[in-house]
Structures are given as structure tokens and as C-alpha cells.
Amino acid sequence: NNKVVATITMFSPHSPILPDLSGKMFVFPQETNTAHVKLIPANVNLQSLTVCHRSFTDLKRDHSLFSLSSPSHHNEFLVFMSWPSLDYAPNKWHSICTTWNSSSGLVQMWFNGQPLVIKYIPFTLPLTTNPIIIVGQEQDSHGGGFAINQCLVGMMCDVHMWNYEVSPCEILKYMKGEGVTPGNVLNWAALNYQSIGNVLIKDKQSCILS
């Protein structure tokens, strides 16, 4: 089943200088229920959002790419790969963007430059509680509850998050690896993050749309 769930919130980073990961990637080299990266957002009280990222794996099982939880809901916003209908080929970079609007309740995903069907999620509200954002694992509790059979084994890069719906043209520019406005919630070029366990930061070998 497709899993994209939406509801989210933010606290502000206090570090004045954040690392620029341009040209870098997170590497998750093994199956584990501990290794992950916690991403610390810069904004709060989201009325809408867009999340974009690129991933590379040879996994043939379900796995989490982006997991945001709140104290009340562990799957507030979740990008979880479980889509046999998509051409999610192994050992290739895949670019994924997801937009969500609390007023309309509408969610849309873009996969390798192609928009998927717009869907409605009922009872969505602006996201105003402290979130925990994690890549590499799915949260089954707030900040934890990781399962080894849902972890990412592979690479991830170019993670951006905005507190608005990015336009289709801007999303396509991101997919093509062209310059876009950096995320104002999460910005890969100034990323506030904590790496836990066996996660490596390596130079990108190739992180563009295939």
C-alpha cells in the first residue's frame, strides 16, 4: 500500500553556522534498527509544505525515506516506499517530492519528474507541535520504535523542505538537478542534523536525475 501521511511541526535551530552538504550524501551501509539521521527544522506552524530528496538503494522490500512524527502521531508525515506500480529500479538515483496543504487536505507526490495523482487526506490541520524528523528509519513512536525491516540501506542526498507548496516548474527543476530556491525548513546547503550510529557522509558519485 502507498504510504504518504501528512501532519507536521517545527522548532528552530540555534547554531549560526550550519554545515553545507552540497556535493555530499548520507550513506546507510547496513541493515540496522539504530542508525539514522535526525533533521532539525528551522520553522514552526506549517500551513503547507513540500519535501524533496534523492535516494539510491538496491532494496526490494518496503523502506522508509522520510519520517516525521509528533508527540501525538508517530506518522504525521511519512514517505515510505512500497509501490510496485512505480519504476523504482534498484541501483539508480530517484528524485521524490511531496506537497501537502492543510487547508485543502490535498497531497501530491512527484517521482522522477512525473506527477502522481492528487489525493485527499481528511482532517488535516496546520502542524504546530514539536516534530522529530528522521531519515534512514521509520518512527513507530516519537523519535524511536525503529524496525530493522523498514530501514533504508543505501544513500540519500539533496534533502530540502519548504513551508509552502513549491510550484510544478520548481519541482521539475529540482528533479533535473537545476538550481532551485533552497528549503526554508530544511536546507541541504545549511543543514542542522544529528547523525546516530553507522551513517557515513561521503562525496556524491552521481546525484542527478537518471
82's grid cell: 512500497
What Cα–Cα distance (Å) separates residue 53 from each residue in 68, 89, 199? 14, 16, 17
Quick one: which of 207, 106, 91, 92 has its CA closest to 160?
207
Domains of the chain, start order: 3-12+30-203 (2.60.120.200)
The pLDDT of residue 205 is 79
User: To which residue does cell 485527499 refer?
Assistant: 120
| Average pLDDT score over residue span 1-27 | 63
| Average pLDDT score over residue span 175-185 | 92
Tens digit of pLDDT for each residue in 50-85? 999 999 999 999 999 999 987 877 778 889 888 667
Which band of pLDDT confidence, cut at 50, 70 and 90, is reported for residue 7?
A: very low
The one-letter amino acid code at 129 reads: T
Tens digit of pLDDT for each residue in 92-130? 999 999 999 988 989 999 999 999 999 998 766 677 678
User: To which residue does cell 524528523 refer?
Assistant: 133
The pLDDT of residue 26 is 98
Q: Does 175 score more than 80 pLDDT?
A: yes
Quick one: which of 33, 40, 45, 51 has its CA closest to 9?
45
| Average pLDDT score over residue span 136-150 | 90
